[in-house]
Amino acid sequence: MLCLEYKSPVPNEPPKPPIFVPPPVPAQLAAVLGAPIANIYANGFQLGFTNADTQLVLLLTGRPVAVVNFSYTLAKSISEKLGKLVEEWEKKTGHTLQTTESIDRAFAAKPEGSK
């Protein structure tokens, strides 16, 4: 059984009782129940790579807010799972999601009749 203890960033805050999580528990749930973790919103990204790993730079209105480094194996695994997640969403909703690139092209195109 996993025991999660909360450590407050506030000095002299009374301790909270530990949370006992019975196995198996998805990692996401264990993280939510445990100590505070970063919750980051991004509306853009950039990718980078070296001979050893990949980098995902998360952007908010064009400014970097976080950098996540992945091994190539994890990058491929995430790519495949995200692809399946999007496919499932599109199948269930009957809508095709647009990419940021397709939206950029649409807004960059000149309206008909304009010079």
> Is residue 17 one of the residues assigned to a domain?
yes
Residue 30 belongs to domain spanning: 1-37
* Phi-psi region at 43: left, alpha or beta (left = phi > 0; alpha = psi -120 to 50): alpha
pLDDT tens profile 8-39: 666 777 777 776 656 665 666 766 666 667 78
Number of domains forming the structure of the chain: 1
- Could you tell me which of 15, 28, 19 has the C-alpha nearest to residue 1? 19
In a domain, 92, yes or no: no
Residue 57 lies in a domain: no
What is the pLDDT, as a whole number, of residue 36? Answer: 67
- pTM of the entire structure? 0.62
Rounded to whole angstroms, how far apart are CA atoms 9 and 93? 42
